[in-house]
Amino acid sequence: MAWIMFTIGLILALLSLLLSLSKVVKGNVKTIAMMRVLGYDNKACSNTILGAYRPFACVGFIIGTLYQYALLKLIITFVFSDVEIVPAYNFDWIVLLITLVAFIIVYELTMVFFSFRIRKTPLKCVMTE
């Protein structure tokens, strides 16, 4: 049951991350092009467009962790209350640390990928208006 919830949560989290960041980059194409025309380097463009989302990702990780823990605790308490031998479910700090490191690595790799997409933004979109 925990692995099913883990897999579904992971898929939903990755898809929402990719969809939201692609929408942010697409929505700021003109802003990125203008920044590049004005002389900002690619790092400054990426930090301006994508850097503001790091605190929200951390808050999302914390809320998601609390949600997963509460959901598993409720399922074990109410769904399996009739079962005689149910293993105890406690919070595992080592798994939290491993998950946090994996989250940071995946999130930063996604930011690097979208920074490359920002770097490839054409300057033509500013010249057409």
pLDDT by residue (tens digit) across 33-82?
888 888 888 889 888 888 888 899 889 889 988 988 888 888 888 877 77
Structure tokens at 27: 């929505």
Q: What is the pLDDT of residue 105?
A: 94
Provide the angle, in degrees to the nearest 10, between the axes of the packed helices 2-27 and 93-119: 30
pLDDT digits (tens, 9 = 90+) for 90-102: 788 898 899 889 9
Q: Is residue 2 part of a domain?
A: no
Looking at the chain, how many residues does it have?
129
Q: Is residue 53 part of a domain?
A: yes
Q: Is residue 6 part of a domain?
A: no
Residue 22 has pLDDT above 70, yes or no: yes
Report the candidate in 120, 110, 127, 107 with the shortest Cα–Cα distance to residue 45. 120
| CA atoms lying within 13 Å on the CB side of residue 55 | 1
pLDDT classification of 19: cutoffs 50, 70, 90: very high
Q: For residue 120, give every residue at least 6 positions away whose Cβ sits within 8 Å of its Cβ, in sequence order, or none.
A: none
Q: Is residue 14 part of a domain?
A: no
Q: What is the pLDDT of residue 127?
A: 67
| Domain span holding position 88 | 31-127
- Alpha carbons 124 and 62: distance in angstroms, whole number: 41
In the chain, the number of structural domains is 1
Q: What is the pLDDT of residue 117?
A: 86
Q: What is the pLDDT of residue 86?
A: 72
CA distances (Å), 105 to each of 22, 99, 101, in order? 19, 10, 6
Q: Is residue 3 part of a domain?
A: no
The pLDDT mean for the chain works out to 85
Q: Is residue 1 part of a domain?
A: no
